[in-house]
Amino acid sequence: MNATLDALQFDPANIEWQRMGSYTGFSYYLLNVDVENRVIDLLFNFEANQKCFYHRHHQPSSALVLHGEQHIWEPQSDGNERHEVRPTGHFSVAKGAETHIEGAGADGCIVYQNIRAKGDLVYSILNDDLSTRADVYMRDFFSSFEQQAA
């Protein structure tokens, strides 16, 4: 591979990461929220060995791991969890509804995510029993994007 590309590294030093309420262990940064076309581009930054909460994606999305390892825990119908480790450079596509917890390995993790929403409900924050705690809509992303830019 080209030596210039081999040396390419993502540098998050100048990003003003945002916290999601009182949740700890991860932060995010909205790159773009296009309400008219229903597209959201954002970054997630997971601290080393930390994870977020159960949540359900309702819209198609794709993700690219920019740094570290992204860990995914998906609840299974038998009560167990499936654990997947996605290394730097891993690209994934989700076509719709998907329930899981995301997190990072020992070096932390930064993930780029692109959401292409067909409807207003983007994702739901879930309780441990997988019941809905809160729904997050396109307008919520746009409001956060405006506040971030201010």
pLDDT of 3 over the 70 cut? no
Hey, which residues does 123 pair with through a beta bridge?
Answer: 57, 136
Domain boundaries defined on the chain:
27-149
In the chain, the amino acid numbered 52 is C
CATH homologous superfamily for the domain 27-149: Jelly Rolls (2.60.120.10)
The CA-atom distances, in angstroms, between 71 and each of 47, 49, 68, 90 are 12, 9, 10, 11
Q: Are 88 and 26 in contact (CB under 8 A)?
A: no
Which pLDDT value is given to residue 105? 96
Nearest one of 21, 57, 20 to 40, comparing CA atoms: 57
pLDDT tens digits for 48-89? 999 999 999 999 999 999 999 999 999 999 989 999 999 999
- Global pTM reads 0.90
The CA-atom distances, in angstroms, between 53 and each of 7, 23, 97, 133 are 34, 9, 16, 11
Q: Which 3 state secondary structure label does DSSP give 43?
A: strand
